[in-house]
Chain A
Amino acid sequence: MQSSDSRVHEGERLLRLCNACRYCEGFCAVFPAMERRATFSAADVNYLANLCHNCGECYYACPYTPPHEYALNLPKVLAEIRLETYEQSAFPRGFSLIHRGGLVATLLTIAAIAVMFSVARGLGSFASSKAEFYQVIPHEIMVATLGSVFLLAAFAMLVGFLRFWRGAIQAPIEVRPLMNALRDGLRLTNLHGHGAGCPYPNEALSQARRWFHHATFYGFALCFASTCVAAFYHFALGWRAPYPYLSVPVVLGTLGGLGLLIGPIGLYGLRRRRDPALDDLNPRGFGASFIVLLLSASVTGLLLLALRETAAMSWLLIVHLGVVLALFASLPYGKFMHGKFRFAALLRNASEQSRDQ
């Protein structure tokens, strides 16, 4: 994996300036990690770019931001390099949504819904008011479509992750650093700002982004857990959906859905108000498309739950499954990958930290 030379070169120039200054070293993990080296290879630059959580604190503190001659805008340049690592690592390479996220995600969603619709239509039990889930789309077909797309996506993500790992991380995998990296990722330690939060979306410090991200991440995790439990019920216990409102899969899914409602709306709202000096980081809907897909999945899922006894169920089920299908298909190529790369960078950081001690 190689990011374009000019951008890595620019990253190197900035890191060199930062390394001679070091005023920001108390902000986050990026600066102490930078200080561990005197020169920066392309791999180092890609690693540090993915270690950056893009809070903007160093930008506001920096006396050298444009129009200063040094034109130092570290979070912005690191964000650009980070995007390149997403693009360069994507498998297959040309599939990255960096430059056309919004459009592709929209088309993908429409296509996925259309697929679901024709599947249901072909089976003929569509739109009957008393229909059950599996009369609209039989379970085997649901599993076959979503499952195969998910497996393909998982494979593509694995290849993408390994490409990134080879080009930027290559850290040893040891227990303690792994635990530390997990902690830093799950708690978003680097957005904590020593309790004061981050200057996001603008200079005033706030914990909003961290909390909305938690809602999104843990919402996603709960939905995933819900699906796993439901699969267990179905295959191991032979219990068929729909499950009661107070059953484990529905409670997990509902909580997760709420998280995926609040989180993405909050994150999107914050990003809209982001300081323009640090914006345009996710060009043409790269980040937004992921947020919108997550939100669509939660909205349609919750509506489906609320209206599953009514005639709207069939339609909602098709739309919901279509959205989830599109979400799965886009995972390896969109903003979803940032979590894997960030975690890998946190792991390398934790591993270097453990060697310092």
Chain B
Amino acid sequence: MSFPVYDVLVAGGGNAAMCAAVSAREAGASVVVAECAPRHLRAGNSRHARNFRCMHVAPNSVLTDAYPEDEYFKDLLQVTGGNTNEELARLAIRSSPECFAWMTQHGVRFQPSLTGTLHLGRTNAFFLGGGKALVNKYYAIAERLGIRVLYNAEVTTLRMDDGRFESATVSLDGAPVEIRAKAFVAASGGFEANIEWLRQAWGDAAKNFIIRGTPYNRGKVLRLLLDHGAGQIGDPSQCHAIALDARAPKFDGGIVTRLDTVPLGIVVNRNGERFYDEGEDLWPKRYAIWGRLIAQQPTQIAYSIVDAKTADKVMPSAFPALQAGTIRELAALLKLPPDALVRTVEEFNRRVVEGSFDHTRLDNCHTRGLATEKTHWALKLDAPPFFGYPLRPGITFTYLGVRVNHAGQVLFESRPSPNVFAAGEIMAGNILGKGYLAGIGMTIGTVFGRIAGEGAARAIQ
């Protein structure tokens, strides 16, 4: 297979990569995309995305009310604890309405917020059919525009000279090929699927993690850029980790493996003991701390237990709950020590202070006198059947990335590279240093994908 010198080489195949590729091509550049997944698994974690957080001053076809820049930025400050680059964050926020228009022009279809996500109806524009449908659209456009897309194409080496990209070695179906280009866009995600790398921060616990998204985010290009001296951003030991169904596949289980039962019952570890306040806050505000909590338990496993009173208050789960008529029988099904679990439940039930239960707000049902209290939604577990779900830490994404400027250029010792750009998760740490804000990943990917693509097309002139 022969390769001419392209204007732009894009590493990656998700939302950011395709926004960059389409933008560069529309600006007149010849573009080749190296996606390391096969075609049917293309698009990285964008396959699992579902919406795009969008600033707006008035309602539009799918977004209600208004979501002004300052409120958006305040939300971001809150989740990151201030760990954000204000210039880049405001750039992403301010550019989001224009991106919405750009996406619509390119045939991306939106829908009102999905059932069960009404709290996002004002802030987040949902893709009709989800992230894979979105990216399918970009791939169709790429084909029409004559962008060359290589699948099973992993960038293995970058040849660079003082922050300037010259060429890349790409392992194409396992055979190395040299691809030269005048500019390079790194849009190949984080390293969350690289268990060895996760182990460096988490030790052996990492082997029990479930990776929610693509198995292809191994951080290869991130590593190469850092090794070439690209500025580093984001805590290398941090990842977004939630509690999910332990029966999920090791990789790529996606949104369906999430479980929302935690605040409605109790969560015990494999010794049958509770270890954290399940009712600390509303679940959308707490689901992301439970990954870490479970990672700290023996063998990284926990069990959410609810009874018939609350089991139907959550979205249905992908895998049916294990179900039993007594706590003792449930313990047997979950392979938990029966005496310990019965003790835990009896003690919990004794300490419940009755209140008026309302799972949609911080109610007054709580426990009094336990070592680990439950501060809201505490109801006695006394209505059979009892339902149990095994839980494991599920990794969504990593925060480590390369430092960029407002033009999407990667900074090498604080100097912007003339022809290396980054977009998407690989640089999201500049804006999202900690925590998560639903839909902001797609915003960063789209905004910086377009900036990187246009910048790369300009850089070749």
Chain A residues proximal to chain B, CB less than 8 Å: 16-17, 19-27, 32, 35, 38-39, 57-58, 60-65, 67-70, 194, 196, 203-204
Contacts and interface: CB of A to CB of B under 8 A. Distances in A.
B25 interface: no
Contacts of A24: 129-130
DSSP majority for the A interface? loop
B116 A22 contact: yes
B140 interface: yes
Nearest to A38: B316
Given A16-B318, A20-B316, A35-B115, A26 B252 contact: no
B450 interface: no
Most chain A CB atoms below 10 A, which of B131, B132, B312, B320: B132
Interface in B14-42: 40-41
A26 B40 contact: no
Interface string B301-323: 00000000000100111101000
B115 A63 contact: no
Given A17-B318, A23-B50, A64 B254 contact: yes
Given A58-B129, A69-B249, A22 B114 contact: yes
A61 B140 contact: no
Interface in B276-322: 312, 315-318, 320
| 8 A-B pairs closest in CB distance | A23-B130, A61-B129, A26-B111, A61-B133, A20-B256, A20-B318, A63-B47, A38-B316
Given A16-B316, A17-B318, A21-B256, A63 B140 contact: no
A26 B111 CA distance: 6
Given A16-B320, A38-B316, A61-B136, A23 B129 contact: yes
Interface of B: 40-41, 47-48, 50, 109, 111-112, 114-116, 126-133, 136, 140, 249, 252-256, 258, 312, 315-318, 320
A203 B256 contact: no
A194 B111 CA distance: 10
A58 to B, nearest CB: 7
Contacts of B40: 65, 67
Contact of B136 (A39, A60, A69, A70): A60
A170 B411 CA distance: 66
A63 B318 contact: no
Contact of B130 (A39, A63, A67, A204): A63
A22 B48 contact: no
A204 B47 CA distance: 18
Contacts of B318: 16-17, 20-21
Contacts of B109: 194, 196
Contacts of B48: 63
B439 to A, nearest CB: 14
Contacts of A32: 115
Nearest to B62: A26
A179 to B, nearest CB: 25
Contacts of B111: 25-26
Contact of B128 (A26, A39, A63): A26
A204 B140 contact: yes
A77 to B, nearest CB: 16
Given A62-B132, A63-B131, A25 B140 contact: no
A65 B312 CA distance: 28
Contacts of A63: 47-48, 130-132, 252, 254
A26 B126 CA distance: 10
Nearest to A35: B115
A150 B320 CA distance: 49
A19 B315 CA distance: 8
A25 B115 contact: yes
B138 to A, nearest CB: 13
A27 B128 contact: yes
Contact of B132 (A22, A61, A194): A61
Output the residue of B47, B50, B129, B312 with the most chain A CB within 10 A.
B129
B320 A203 contact: no
A64 B41 CA distance: 9
A151 B140 CA distance: 51
Nearest to A66: B40
Given A61-B136, A68-B41, A69-B249, 13 more contacts: A20-B258, A22-B115, A23-B50, A23-B127, A23-B131, A25-B111, A25-B115, A26-B111, A62-B132, A63-B254, A68-B252, A194-B128, A203-B140
Nearest to A199: B136
Nearest to B110: A26
B130 A61 contact: yes
A203 to B, nearest CB: 7
Contacts of A194: 109, 128
Nearest to B312: A38
Contacts of B255: 20-21, 23
Contacts of B140: 203-204
